Copies of this chain bind each other. A is one copy, B any other.
Amino acid sequence: MTVSVADYTAAYLHALGVHTCYSLSGTGSIHLDQAFSQQPGLVTICARHETAAALMATGAAKLTGELGVALVTSGPGAVNALAGLVDAYADGVPVLVVSGQVETRHMEEGVRSFGVQGFGVVHSARSMTKYSAVVERPGDIRRHLDEAVRHALEGRPGPVWLDIPLDVQAARVDPDTLEGAEQSTAEPRGAGARQTARQLMTMLRSAERPLIVAGQGVRQADAVQAFQAMVAKLRIPVVTSRLGTDLLPYDSEFCFGQGGIRGRLYPGLIMGRSDLVISLGSSLSTAFVGEDADAFDPDATVVAVDIDPSQLTKKGVRVDFPVCMDVGRLVEALQEEAAEPAAPAHEAWLAECAALKAAHPTVGEQRPDGPINSYRFVDRLEAQTGPGHVFVVDTGSAYYVTGQTLEFTASQREITSAAFLNMGAAVPMAVGAAFARPDAQVLVIVGDGAIELNIQELATISQYGLGIKVFVLNNGGYASIRESQAALVGGPELEEPETLDFSAVATAFRLPYRTLRHTGSLDADIATVLAEAGPALVEVVCDPAQQLLRPLRADGGRRAHDGASMVRADGPDDLPALTDLVRERELNHA
């Protein structure tokens, strides 16, 4: 009994648990398109741009930790998908792109294009995937799928790519005789976890102000519950990277929010005072540790645990004790090694951190008649969210404001492009999230500039009737950016785009349009929007003069430890200049 390679691929992925594929069909992938659409239990979602298809698969995979799959055609379709894949590479997300290709007899190295719309995309994909290959022989399909899936999920996850020529797609294979890949011989990186945990416990006991920095490696190791239990036993403060913000409820006595230049006001004060930093599955990016890795006290000891050895030795990171290990194994071992009941050794330090947290709320009072402050909006939106809600956040001021304001409860999640702040990724990622968790309320928060980059996918939300609420923060242009650009480089202002007519955008893409304009009725207006079934495009008309909060610096923090450094989002008079915040592209489209 033989089946086509296309059918085999669809069945293989379905057997793996893949139930949704994001695609823009085309003739180069026509057998795959057909096979995927005919595979029972596998739904193919029609995106309107291949970049968006890759981002939808990424959004689903970010939410579930399971393999996301995108299917695209040859040539420009495949290259478009590349642009959507680099975020999965940087953020460590398991995504498989399957691309169609011209027939093998037309494929050739060293020519710019071949056949009808043929391009050697795997060469470009290689530098942003963990595995990429052309399936040149039908009999190799199982081996390539095995390898691709293993690389996508194993160790630090990431994207992979299979390019399947038309003749191979259509070729018949006997599933029973297909050879698979050899089993991975890589040693599971859990060996030595207990010994390492004991060493860490020794270090913790002698530290005065220990700090855990938690990143998404904890979630990727499927160790969220173990992590929470470990923290409760150790009773030491936790600061998170952006992808770790939903590891602990914000109201946990151990949670001290997101650090780094895009983080909350006060975690930098804690980071700068700690004498022992244990990073668990955080990439310790430049945005987190500072341009010169100076967010931590120079005398502090920094331990970093990561499954990816390159993360431990990369430039710009100062790690005294690199531990290349599965974070989950170490967290479990630490949990077991921690004293029970917890040692109260660091209660004073914990109280000190709690005082900083209490002294630096993001959102203060606001006059009910003023224009809407975006911090206030996010605060009031979150107040009406419940368990299981998924926030999907874009770049620019949306990214800053949510990261500084959202206070997750236990089952809430955030999806965002953390390493790259990939402008415009939120709408397609939200589509993926909505298909991955059909029962969850998905809330997009995106700026009026960033939404343009994948605006066509609003029609996908509409077409599939996804109950996504897309909140567009419209600050009436780019007031804050003008100011920051002038401050950074001086001279004349750069050319700036104008904003869209969002009421017409909603009509164009067939979504209901709602608007939030008044601070006084914000709670009631949000309630109305959330009470309506189905999707909506919600324009939030924000104060164009509002500034963003600047996280306090570590060295400044040490000096300002008297608590006088409180800054409120609603008190523009107290706000420092934006200079430190604008070192990113997306702010140009805030």
**Residues of chain A at the chain B interface (Cβ within 8 Å):** 24-31, 33-34, 37-38, 44-46, 48-49, 51, 73-77, 79-80, 82-83, 86-87, 89-90, 92, 102, 105-108, 110-117, 119-120, 123-128, 158, 283, 285-287, 310-311, 314-316, 417, 419-424, 449, 452-453, 455-456, 459-460, 462-463, 485, 488-489, 491-492, 494-498, 500-502, 504-505, 507-510, 582-588
Number of copies: 2
B116 contacts A127, CB within 8 Å?
Answer: no
Q: Which residues of B contact A31 (CB under 8 A)?
A: 489
B27 contacts A115, CB within 8 Å?
Answer: no
B509 contacts A500, CB within 8 Å?
Answer: yes
B76 contacts A459, CB within 8 Å?
Answer: no
B500 contacts A77, CB within 8 Å?
Answer: no
Complex CA distance for A508 and B507, rounded to whole angstroms:
9
B115 contacts A494, CB within 8 Å?
Answer: no
Complex CA distance for A147 and B584, rounded to whole angstroms:
30
Known A462-B498, A504-B507; 17 more pairs at CB < 8 Å: A25-B588, A31-B489, A37-B495, A46-B495, A46-B497, A49-B424, A76-B86, A76-B423, A110-B310, A112-B310, A113-B420, A117-B420, A452-B456, A452-B459, A455-B455, A501-B509, A504-B508
Q: Smallest distance from the beta carbon of A238 to chain B beta carbons, Å? A: 24
Which residue of B has the minimal Cβ distance to A423?
Answer: B76
Q: Which of B86, B117, B485 contacts A421 (CB 8 A)?
A: B117
Complex CA distance for A45 and B106, rounded to whole angstroms:
39
Which residue of B has the minimal Cβ distance to A485?
Answer: B30
Q: Which residues of B contact A29 (CB under 8 A)?
A: 585
B510 contacts A508, CB within 8 Å?
Answer: no
Which residue of B has the minimal Cβ distance to A31?
Answer: B489
Complex CA distance for A28 and B90, rounded to whole angstroms:
17
A494 contacts B33, CB within 8 Å?
Answer: yes
Q: Which of B86, B115, B455 contacts A79 (CB 8 A)?
A: B86
Q: Which residues of B contact A110 (CB under 8 A)?
A: 310
Q: Which residues of B contact A25 (CB under 8 A)?
A: 494, 585, 588
Q: Smallest distance from the beta carbon of A187 to chain B beta carbons, Å? A: 21
Complex CA distance for A107 and B449, rounded to whole angstroms:
29
B34 contacts A585, CB within 8 Å?
Answer: no
Q: Which residues of B contact A27 (CB under 8 A)?
A: 582-585, 587-588
Q: Smallest distance from the beta carbon of A254 to chain B beta carbons, Å? A: 28
A119 contacts B90, CB within 8 Å?
Answer: yes
Q: Which residues of B contact A119 (CB under 8 A)?
A: 86, 90, 128, 420
Complex CA distance for A127 and B79, rounded to whole angstroms:
11
Q: Given A124-B82, A420-B75, A452-B459, verify A46-B496 contact (CB < 8 Å).
A: yes
Q: Smallest distance from the beta carbon of A539 to chain B beta carbons, Å? A: 12
Q: Which residues of B contact A586 (CB under 8 A)?
A: 26
Q: Which residues of B contact A105 (CB under 8 A)?
A: 315-316
Q: Which residues of B contact A115 (CB under 8 A)?
A: 286, 316
Complex CA distance for A584 and B459, rounded to whole angstroms:
24
Q: Which of B79, B417, B485, B583 contacts A116 (CB 8 A)?
A: B583
A116 contacts B588, CB within 8 Å?
Answer: no
Q: Smallest distance from the beta carbon of A109 to chain B beta carbons, Å? A: 10
Q: Given A83-B82, A456-B455, verify A37-B117 contact (CB < 8 Å).
A: no
A315 contacts B37, CB within 8 Å?
Answer: no
Q: Which of B79, B310, B315, B584 contacts A82 (CB 8 A)?
A: B79
Q: Which residues of B contact A286 (CB under 8 A)?
A: 102, 106, 114-116
Which residue of B has the minimal Cβ distance to A463?
Answer: B498
Q: Which of B49, B124, B419 contacts A113 (CB 8 A)?
A: B419
Q: Smallest distance from the beta carbon of A111 to chain B beta carbons, Å? A: 5
Q: Which residues of B contact A75 (CB under 8 A)?
A: 86, 90, 420-422, 585
Q: Smallest distance from the beta carbon of A557 to chain B beta carbons, Å? A: 21
Question: Could you list 24 examples of A-B contacts with CB < 8 Å?
Answer: A25-B494, A37-B491, A49-B424, A73-B585, A75-B422, A76-B86, A76-B585, A82-B124, A89-B113, A90-B113, A108-B315, A110-B310, A111-B314, A112-B310, A112-B419, A113-B419, A113-B420, A116-B287, A117-B419, A117-B420, A452-B456, A459-B500, A463-B497, A498-B510
Complex CA distance for A77 and B110, rounded to whole angstroms:
27
Complex CA distance for A492 and B507, rounded to whole angstroms:
31
Q: Smallest distance from the beta carbon of A25 to chain B beta carbons, Å? A: 5
Q: Smallest distance from the beta carbon of A119 to chain B beta carbons, Å? A: 6
Complex CA distance for A542 and B587, rounded to whole angstroms:
42
Q: Which of B125, B488, B496, B508 contacts A30 (CB 8 A)?
A: B488
Q: Which of B33, B45, B112, B420 contacts A76 (CB 8 A)?
A: B420
Q: Which of B126, B314, B419 contacts A108 (CB 8 A)?
A: B314
Q: Smallest distance from the beta carbon of A483 to chain B beta carbons, Å? A: 14
Which residue of B has the minimal Cβ distance to A170?
Answer: B489
Which residue of B has the minimal Cβ distance to A75?
Answer: B420
Complex CA distance for A89 and B106, rounded to whole angstroms:
18
Q: Which residues of B contact A423 (CB under 8 A)?
A: 76-77
Q: Which residues of B contact A588 (CB under 8 A)?
A: 24-27
B491 contacts A501, CB within 8 Å?
Answer: no
Which residue of B has the minimal Cβ distance to A455?
Answer: B456
B584 contacts A116, CB within 8 Å?
Answer: yes
Complex CA distance for A455 and B52, rounded to whole angstroms:
14
Complex CA distance for A34 and B500, rounded to whole angstroms:
25
